[in-house]
Amino acid sequence: MKISWGTGIVIAFGLFITFILYFVFTVQSDSKYDNELVVEEYYKHDAHFGDEMARIQNVEDLAQKPTINIVSNGVEIAFPKVFVPKNIKGKVSFYRPSNKKLDFEIPISLSDATTLLIPKKSLAGGRWDINMEWQYDGKSYLSKETIYMN
């Protein structure tokens, strides 16, 4: 039996639509393809954007800024020596864009040293977005950085 070109086009469209529907249902039903928002309560978070920008500007205005470095045994966050370590309060949030289950927060609690070390065993390989929110002498600061772990 010979198939005309019109019938061939209809069959091709039918197969293409079937493939697309299969793909959509597979992605929506499989937990491996998690498609949640990166931030809970996205719109509430977006409403505080102006405050966030002011805290980022506070960091930019510093003569010496905190640094985030990848070292052999993890990630080291180093504050400048001009800061009194005991007066720095805040938290460091690690966000994994590909897997929300790996996200975690660490409070900033420094005694005498001006560095905070996050062990390598806490960080899976890949991309990490780091938000460091901290206060010093009544002023709030926010640093954002992206790192890639091996």
Q: List the chain domain ranges.
A: 1-35, 42-149
* Cβ partners under 8 Å of residue 6, min gap 6: none
Half-sphere exposure for 120 (CA within 13 Å, toward CB): 10
pTM of the entire predicted model = 0.68
Compute mean pLDDT per 10 residues along the chain, 150 residues long, and list them. Answer: 90 97 86 63 75 92 91 90 88 88 88 84 89 92 91
- Amino acid 27: pLDDT: 82
- Amino acid 34: pLDDT: 63
- Amino acid 35: pLDDT: 58
Q: Which CATH superfamily is domain 42-149 in?
A: Immunoglobulins (2.60.40.10)
Check residue 36 and report its DSSP letter.
-
